[in-house]
């Protein structure tokens, strides 16, 4: 993607809710929080330097896509979508085949594969179902050049309904510049995380 196209794509993402925004909006992202996403929507686009993991993921994504295309005997080009009737609901799919109405989400998984879709990716993939109305979406995990793991993720309409309600509320806050409401949610989520944080194993109370 050339610089002009990337700038255009980043602005397109800023003017709507993308699938990578939704885990933070739903409170399950280990990388961002709802306030981060809110601020990214009301401020001019700021290109961030990709971290080490993101750099590896960007490098391995075409390889994972090629593995999947060979398995399916079909092309899955990266594709941008906007919802048919709600323009601010939008996604950038890592791969999509129109004839099969099937999509993929590619993730670099570090040292090991998982057996089921990790919680942090569920909002992103369910949101892709919502926006595209795909028949099927696979999570494609890649570990290195030659190791790929495919996890089918089924559509969950009950989850999608709850998620859409929160996304609509979030976007209304963006449009109305309701930062107070966002801060209230941010504060309550932080409090909940502190209350539910598990103590590190192997640490004992030296005062007891």
- In tens, the pLDDT along 9-24 reads 889 999 999 999 999 9
The pLDDT value given to residue 46: 74
The pLDDT value given to residue 198: 56
The pLDDT value given to residue 38: 97
Alpha helices in the chain (DSSP H): 3-14, 22-25, 34-42, 52-72, 122-132, 157-176, 179-196
Residue of 122, 203, 134, 135 lying closest to 163 (CA atoms): 122
The pLDDT value given to residue 47: 67
Q: Is residue 181 scored above 60 in pLDDT? A: yes
Q: Is residue 201 scored above 50 in pLDDT? A: no
The pLDDT value given to residue 55: 81
pTM: 0.87
Encoding tokens for residue 89?
């609901």
Q: Is residue 137 scored above 60 in pLDDT? A: yes
Within 8-70, strands assigned E span none
Average pLDDT, the chain: 89
Residue of 124, 122, 120, 125 lying closest to 110 (CA atoms): 120
Domain ranges in the chain are 3-191
Q: Is residue 203 scored above 50 in pLDDT? A: no
Q: Is residue 205 scored above 50 in pLDDT? A: no
Q: What percent of the chain has pLDDT over 90?
A: 72
The pLDDT value given to residue 111: 77
Encoding tokens for residue 17?
């809710």
Cα–Cα dist 86/130, whole Å: 11
The CATH classification number of 3-191 equals 3.90.320.10
Segment 93-119 shows an average pLDDT of 94
Q: Sorting pLDDT into bands at 50, 70 and 90, what band is 112? A: confident
Q: Is residue 52 scored above 80 in pLDDT? A: no
Cα–Cα dist 94/64, whole Å: 10
Cα–Cα dist 208/131, whole Å: 54
């Amino acid at each position: 993607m050339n610089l002009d196209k990337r700038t255009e794509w980043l602005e397109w993402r800023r003017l709507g809710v993308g699938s990578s925004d939704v885990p933070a909006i739903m409170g399950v992202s280990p990388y961002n929080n709802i306030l981060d996403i809110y601020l990214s929507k009301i401020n001019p686009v700021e290109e961030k330097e990709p971290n080490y993991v993101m750099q590896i993921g960007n490098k391995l994504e075409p390889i994972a896509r090629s593995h999947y295309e060979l398995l399916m005997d079909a092309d899955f080009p990266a594709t941008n979508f906007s919802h048919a009737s709600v323009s601010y609901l939008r996604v950038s799919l890592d791969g999509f085949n129109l004839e099969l109405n099937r999509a993929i989400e590619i993730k670099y998984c570090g040292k090991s594969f998982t057996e089921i879709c990790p919680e942090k990716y569920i909002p992103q993939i369910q949101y892709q179902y919502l926006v595209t109305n795909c028949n099927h979406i696979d999570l494609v995990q890649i570990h290195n050049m030659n190791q790929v793991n495919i996890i089918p993720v089924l559509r969950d309409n009950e989850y999608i309904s709850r998620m859409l309600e929160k996304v609509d509320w979030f976007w209304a806050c963006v449009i109305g510049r309701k930062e107070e409401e966002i801060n209230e949610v941010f504060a309550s989520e932080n409090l909940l995380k502190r209350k539910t944080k598990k103590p590190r194993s192997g640490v004992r109370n030296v005062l007891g």
